[in-house]
Amino acid sequence: MRCAVPAAFPRRTSPRQQMKDPTMSERWQYKVEEVRLGMLGSIKPAAIEERLQALGLQGWELVNAVHASPVGPTLLFLKRRA
């Protein structure tokens, strides 16, 4: 007996199915940008926004940002279609 899979849990597609479906075979480029702290340990949002605007004009999309430690840099994870 088979039960229906709820919409919240879509079925996984095999690599063969992905090759048949052109929407599943997109290629992506990934980039990690490092935002360093200022001299007094501060981050300037305007500088980050300016950098993101420049990257956006090149086709990059921000996927995630991680600030792992109080003294370390913030990492910006970006992607764009290859």
Is residue 64 a part of any domain in this protein? yes
Residue 48 exposed, middle or buried by CB count within 10 Å (0-12, 13-18, 19+) = middle
| pLDDT bracket for residue 15 (50, 70, 90) | low
The total of structural domains in the chain comes to 1
Is residue 67 a part of any domain in this protein? yes
| pLDDT bracket for residue 80 (50, 70, 90) | very high
**Structural domain boundaries, residue 62:** 27-81
- Rg of the chain over Cα atoms, rounded to whole angstroms, equals 19
| Residue where the block lists tokens 């279609």 | 81
Least confident of 19-28, 32-41, 51-60: 19-28
Is residue 6 a part of any domain in this protein? no
Is residue 18 a part of any domain in this protein? no
- CATH number of domain containing 35: 3.30.70
| pLDDT bracket for residue 40 (50, 70, 90) | confident
Is residue 14 a part of any domain in this protein? no
Q: What residue spans of the chain are helical by DSSP H? A: 15-20, 45-57
Q: How many CA atoms lie within 13 A of 14 on its CB side?
A: 2
Answer yes or no: is pLDDT of 53 > 60.
yes
Is residue 10 a part of any domain in this protein? no
Is residue 9 a part of any domain in this protein? no
How far apart are the C-alpha atoms of 38 and 47, rounded to whole Å? 11
Least confident of 2-6, 14-18, 35-39: 2-6
